[in-house]
A and B are shown apart, each in its own frame.
Chain A
Amino acid sequence: MNDIANRKWVWIGGLVLLAALCVLPFLVKNFRVFQFNMVMIYAIAVLGLNILTGYNGQISLGHGAFYAIGAYIAAILMDRAGIPYWSTLPVAALACFVFGYLMGFPALRLGGHYLALATFALALAVPQMLKYKAIEGWTGGVQGIVLSKPEPPFEFSFLGQPLSSDRWLYFYILFVTLIMFLIAWRLLRGRVGRALVAIRDHPIAASAMGINLPVYKSLAFGVSAAFTGVAGALSAAAVAFVSPDSFTSFLSITFLVGVVVGGLASIPGAIAGAIFIQFVPNFADEISKSAPWAIYGIFLILLMYLMPEGTAGLFRRIWARLRPSSSGTKTAETAPAISTAAPQSVGGSQS
């Protein structure tokens, strides 16, 4: 009874939200629309990293590399092969899936810190590889590739605002974002998601339950890389420019910030994380060039102490307090195994 009423409200709320999202780009300036585009793109990338790090417990500091690969594949296909922008996505997704899967193989033998280290090395090395002389004909070397933004296929005007390329891209990216989130939701809310969480929380018990650890872990890596690659491909179209220096190791750290701020192992958290990494640097930039990073760093450390479940965890806690009967059990199920200090360690750290 309660459930059915709930579901009805979820549908109504979803439709209202969708309508609001469709009207939104016509209410603001072109530049804001571009920023919203980047929020959605980052949300996909953060979601991708969250599948791997939040749900499967494999730490990656190198997802900027997959983002770069996705962006470059899309840019090269659009620029050199003249393929339309929308058909670059499956190619980028597939290529990044393969790259991620291959990276997932050594990752099987690396736990925790070592995986973070290997992926960090990947993030540092990729910009250099993109500058490499032998592939300059494809990648454009240090200069990168300049693209043109896709033109809207039809003329349209609403609330006195024309459908510009940015606004057209907005709807295109919104569509892709919805699909990617739906895929992630279907994937993580079922058998596969439970298997990934089980591997994260107790690998030995998981394999004793019959979960094929190598297959699931490398698949998680592949899927995660594919998500981030799609985000990269979208960014190539949205920014209309790719260059090695847009994909430094700090981009990977940005995604990690997004995951931590949004909340580990949370699908909607990815959106909160993306909003954070898009808009906080804008405000902080006015203080000084380095301020955004100082703020990122402080947030990373403080969140680990104060709010290890991120924004999503905060909302979950508020929700559970408001409706203790229906949502009380859900917090325990999806909350990641993360805490600032295990209880038994209290005696150990006093000396």
Chain B
Amino acid sequence: MEALFHQIFAGISNGVIYASIGLALVMIHQATHHINFAQGEMATFSTFIAWALVNSGWPYWGAFFATVAVSFLGGLLIQRTILKPVEKAPVLTNVIVFVGLLVIFNAVAGMIFDHTIKSFPSPFPKDTGIATQYFSAHQFGSVAVMLVVLAALYAFFRFTPIGLAMRAAAQNPDSAKLVGVRVSWMLGVGWGLAAAIGAVAGMMVAPIVFLDPNMMSGILLYGFAAALLGGIDNAWGAVIGGFIVGILENLLGAYVIGTELKLTVALILIVGTLTLKPDGLFGKAVVTRV
């Protein structure tokens, strides 16, 4: 029973990472109906920046916020320069550009920071009172950080004018443009936010899985699975989906199929969701007029 609880709690702490990656994917999908294949690689690159800052003597939280800011600007810049020209291009063009970005980020991370596996510091001290037999301090801390991020995002979209403008731009670009929202820039801000969320997720997961250029490929897959399971157009769905995927992954890995086939679980979840319930658990059905 104790082992079961342990697995569930470990699943929750993984789940919150998947939830945030899923959320980043949902944000870009809502605004552009594209799936950003480079999300994981961008997050890894951000984590490398944080690693470099920490190693050159920055305090952890200073490096943390600097990385988030740099990632936001980087995401904004990528959308403005690389993706804006292909905004209305066919799907294939977009997928190829995303794959190109994925490859470039992976290669550049390898070139600058080397392919060796690095350890990444955790900001949460090991021997505090909050660490219990089920939960390590880092797991507890990363769940807390991710929950703060989610709450901040909610507040941003719900209570600020820019958040409102972004929602308008995503829901009805033409009308939003008529009332003076700069739709194309809103997409840029969306990309920046997604990159920043990815950076936080990367920094939270790096102490667990260690840092190398391919760190996020598996996590990205779970993020996809989370977003799809919750419904790709529903932010809350992605969060709940993330927790479901995290717990499911840990339980299946511990009791049913072993840890070696974890990525296959993600594959089956993705293909299964898309085939059986393409709108996800909480998404709304899309009807297209012919």
Nearest-neighbour CB distance to chain A for B214, whole angstroms, equals: 9
Q: Chain B residues near A340 (CB, 8 Å)?
A: 85-86, 89, 93
Known: A125-B264, A305-B85. A112 touches B91 (CB 8 A): yes
A231 interface hit (Cβ, 8 Å): no
B260 touches A106 (CB 8 A): no
B221 at the interface (CB under 8 A from A): yes
Inter-chain contacts of A337 with B (CB < 8 A): 90
Partner of B104, one of A204, A264, A297: A297
Is there a chain B Cβ closer than 8 Å to A113's Cβ?
yes
What are 17 of the A-B contact pairs (CB < 8 Å)?
A112-B91, A113-B34, A117-B37, A117-B228, A121-B221, A121-B267, A121-B271, A128-B262, A250-B103, A297-B104, A298-B104, A300-B100, A304-B86, A339-B90, A341-B86, A348-B184, A351-B177
Is A76 in contact with chain B by the CB < 8 A criterion? no
Say yes or no for A290: interface residue by CB 8 A criterion: yes
Q: Which of B107-115, B127-135, B200-208 lines the interface with chain A?
A: B107-115
Indicate if B284 sits at the interface (CB-CB under 8 A): no
Does B218 touch A at the CB level, under 8 Å? Answer: yes
Q: Which 4 A-B pairs have the closest CB atoms?
A: A345-B88, A300-B100, A297-B104, A112-B91
* Residue B183 is within 8 A (CB to CB) of chain A in the complex: yes
B107–A297 touching, CB < 8 Å: yes
A121 touches B217 (CB 8 A): no
Bound-state Cα–Cα, A114 to B115, Å: 30
Instruction: List 18 other contacts, CB 8 Å, given A59-B92, A294-B108, A349-B84.
Output: A106-B271, A109-B274, A120-B221, A121-B225, A121-B271, A128-B261, A128-B263, A128-B264, A129-B261, A250-B103, A256-B96, A294-B107, A301-B96, A338-B90, A341-B86, A341-B89, A348-B183, A349-B88
Interface string of B167-191 (1 = CB under 8 A from A): 0000001000100001111000000
Contact of A341 among B85, B106, B183 (CB under 8 A): B85
Most chain A CB within a 10 A radius of its CB, from B33, B97, B271: B271
**Given the interface contacts A116-B95, A249-B217, does A301 sit within 8 Å of B82 by beta carbon?**
yes
Scan residues 45-61 of chain B and give those whose CB is less than 8 A from a CB of chain A: none
Q: How many residues of B contact A (CB 8 A)?
A: 58
Residues of A within 8 A of B224 (CB): 117, 121
Chain A residue with the shortest CB-CB distance to B29: A113
Measured CA separation A112–B275 after assembly (Å): 14
The reply on B209 being an interface residue by CB < 8 A is no
Interface on chain A toward B: helix, strand, loop, or mixed SS?
helix
- Complex formed: what's the CA distance from A245 to B91 in Å? 30
Number of interface residues of A (CB under 8 A): 61
Bound Cα distance A111, B278 (Å) = 11
Known interface pairs A293-B106, A300-B100; A116-B264 also in contact (CB < 8 Å): no
Contact with B along A209-230 (1 / 0, CB 8 A): 0000000000000000000000
From B95, B115, B218, A113 is in contact (CB under 8 Å) with: B95
Chain A's closest residue to B105 (CB) is: A297
B183 touches A351 (CB 8 A): yes
- Assembly CA distance A337 to B258 (angstroms): 45
Which residues of A73-124 are within 8 A (CB) of B?
105-106, 109-114, 116-118, 120-122, 124
Judged by a CB distance under 8 angstroms, whether B245 is at the interface is no
Cα of A260 to Cα of B93 in the assembled complex, Å: 10
- Within the assembled complex, what's the spacing in Å between the Cα atoms of A67 and B34? 27
Asked if A131 is at the interface (CB within 8 A of a chain B CB), the reply is yes
B275 touches A106 (CB 8 A): yes
- B76 CB–A CB distance under 8 Å: no
Chain B nearest CB, measured from A127 CB (Å): 9
CA distance A294 to B100 in the complex (A): 9
B-chain residues with CB within 8 Å of residue A349 when the two chains form the complex: 84-85, 87-88, 184
Most-contacted residue by chain B among A61, A294, A301, A308 (CB, 10 A): A301
Contacting residue for B88 out of A114, A116, A117, A341, CB 8 A: A341
On chain B, the residues within 8 Å of A299 by CB distance are: 100
Residue B194 at the A interface, CB < 8 A?
A: no
Least Cβ–Cβ distance between A289 and chain B, in angstroms: 7
Interface membership of B8, Cβ < 8 A? no
CA distance A270 to B225 in the complex (A): 33
Which of chain A's residues have a CB closer than 8 A to the CB of B88?
341-342, 344-345, 348-349
A292 to B104, CA, bound (A): 10
In this assembly, does B247 line the interface, its C-beta being within 8 Å of a C-beta of chain A?
no
* A182 contacts B by Cβ under 8 Å: no
B92 touches A125 (CB 8 A): no
CB distance from B126 to the nearest CB of A (A): 31
Chain B contacts of A296 at CB under 8 A? 100, 103, 107
The listed residue (B97, B107, B111, B267) touching A301 by CB distance below 8 A is B97
User: What residues of chain A lie closer than 8 Å to B103, measured between beta carbons?
Assistant: 250, 253, 293-294, 296-297, 300
Q: Which residue of B lies closest to A103 (CB)?
A: B271
Determine whether B101 belongs to the interface, using a CB cutoff of 8 Å to chain A: yes
Report yes or no: B274 in contact with A110, Cβ–Cβ below 8 A: yes
Across-interface contacts of B264 in A (CB, < 8 A): 125, 128-129
Decide yes or no: A338 and B93 within 8 Å by CB, A110-B274, A288-B111, A294-B107 being known contacts. yes
Q: A2 interface residue, CB < 8 Å from B? A: no
